[in-house]
Structure 1
Amino acid sequence: MRIHALLLLSTVSLPAASTLVLSDPAGVSIPDGTPTGVLRSLTFTAPEQIITGISVDLALSAPDGESTFLGDLYVYLTDGTHLVTLLNRPGRDGSRPFGYGDEQGLDVTFQVGLGSDIHTYRETVTGDAATPLPGTLTGTFTPDGRLSDPGSVLTSDPRESTLSDFVGFSADRTFSLYAADFSTGGLHTIDSWSLTLTTVPEPSSTLLASLAPVILLTRRRR
């Protein structure tokens, strides 16, 4: 009885995973020293897909002839219900009230559980929080995750938001990226950003129908 049921189950097709990618070649400047910031959005049309994974690519630089100040930056991703802090004044701590003073750009990927905390990226890249970046910040990081006010955030604050907050929900939604520069000095441009979603089809009546013979066979053989 059990062997027959298992054999039939093995013939049932599992939902196939899909990868959805949207990009925004923004090229917009972030206002200096104000929480007004800029908001950019990407809309996925995937009404029957459930999110199983998500990553964010973000590239920022300074305008020609200018320099950045990465410790000024506050960036989050939201779908209107969930909010995940990607950057929250990197390096800001009791001994560094303005965060890291690195004047390079960044070109990074945010993923769930991969890479180190971007809030302390210097420790990852240079091995020392006091050592400046040698060049553009690149690599894969986990989002900052701290929901603290950008004016008072500290390294020791809890990391309460994560990209996994979007997992399990419909992919048919709009994601918005908010970016602000919370301190004067240093200018920033969003060169581009993109979202990659891994999805599977929603459970459907088709799948349930394919399981019906297994259920029926099991009942008859009891």
Structure 2
Amino acid sequence: MKKTIATMMLVLAGVTSRADTVTTNWNLSTGNVIPDGNLAGWSDTRVIGGISGTISDVNVSLNLSGGNNGDLYAYLVHSSGFAVLLNRVGRDGSNPFGYGNAGMAVTFDDGAATDIHFYGGTGIPSGSYQPDARNVSPLSSGATLAGFDRATSGAWLSSFTNQSANGSWTLFIADVVGGGSGPTVTSWGLTLDLVPVPEASQWAMCGAMAVFGAGYFYRVRRKVLSGNKDRE
């Protein structure tokens, strides 16, 4: 009996737990310079299609060269999801200009250990960071940015969870402080973890297993009750 139950559980787990990962990367040619000191910024929209299932996790890769990291505001939009990736990194009550590094090669991941806003300001940041997630104007004071409650902002990559991956994905970046030169976007991309929608045959298997299980337990129960009566 225990072996039969365990087998049923393994079959059902196989039907429902399979996940897929889709990775995209868009290398950009010349002409992708973010205008300096311009809130209108720069944007790039990519359309994804033909993917089944719903999103369980999103990571975003971003490669920039030049510019001033502390001047940048960036977000990602898809369907009803919205995530703030950068919002004047390094800018706080004691540093009104933010970090002065030029460029980055980072991956934004909600599960990373470090908030990109405080990556340290030394060298060119690389590796995985939490998105900034500060859903306030990039013109806000340093104290407002540093003290913003990110936990309740809703502007995380998790905002894309349970959505279809198909459709338009738009990356927006603005250099909001004038007086220099804006950075160049060399590439960006997505890594999407997806939970496939079960096929009709899989649902049929689940139904068949449920019917089998109900019948099996009914027979076992009758056998137990019959044995109890024989002992009376």
The two structures share one fold, judged by TM-score above 0.5:
yes
Deviations 1:34-57 (A, max 9, x none): 111111122221342211221111
Would you say 1:167 and 2:161 are equivalent positions? yes
1:22 aligned to which of 18, 21, 24: 24
Separation in 2, partners of 1:111, 1:202: 24
Would you say 1:61 and 2:65 are equivalent positions? yes
- Shift of residue 8, structure 1, vs aligned partner: 2.8
Deviations 1:111-144 (A, max 9, x none): 121130000111xxxxxxxxx51x3211210000
Q: Is the strand fraction higher in 1 or 2?
A: 1
Aligned residue type for 2:70? G
SS in structure 2 of the partner of residue 30 of structure 1: coil
Aligned to 2:82: 83
Aligned to 1:158: 149
Q: Which structure is richer in relative contact order (CA contacts within 8 A, separation 6 or more)?
A: 1
> Do the aligned partners of 1:50 and 1:201 also contact (CA within 8 Å) in 2?
yes
SS in structure 2 of the partner of residue 176 of structure 1: strand
Separation in 2, partners of 1:120, 1:97: 13
> Do the aligned partners of 2:103 and 2:124 also contact (CA within 8 Å) in 1?
yes
Please list, as runs of the form range in 1=range in 2, the aligned pairs for 1:88-103 lying within 5 A after superposition.
88-102=87-101
TM-score, with structure 1 as normaliser:
0.85
Aligned residue type for 1:157? F
- Shift of residue 17, structure 1, vs aligned partner: 2.0
Larger displacement relative to structure 2 (143-152 or 180-189): 180-189
Aligned to 1:45: 49
Aligned to 1:11: 11
2:109 aligned to which of 108, 111, 121: 111
Divergent runs of 4+, >4 A:
none
TM-score, with structure 2 as normaliser:
0.82
- Shift of residue 179, structure 1, vs aligned partner: 0.3
Please list, as runs of the form range in 1=range in 2, the aligned pairs for 1:109-188 lying within 5 A after superposition.
109-122=107-120, 132-133=121-122, 135-152=123-140, 153-159=144-150, 160=153, 161-186=155-180, 187-188=182-183
How many residue pairs align between the two structures?
206
Separation in 2, partners of 1:85, 1:179: 10
Aligned residue type for 1:48? S
Stretches of structure 1 lacking an aligned partner (at least 5 in a row): 63-67, 123-131
Aligned-residue identity in percent = 34
Would you say 1:195 and 2:190 are equivalent positions? yes
> Do the aligned partners of 2:56 and 2:194 also contact (CA within 8 Å) in 1?
yes
Separation in 2, partners of 1:71, 1:181: 9
Separation in 2, partners of 1:87, 1:121: 11
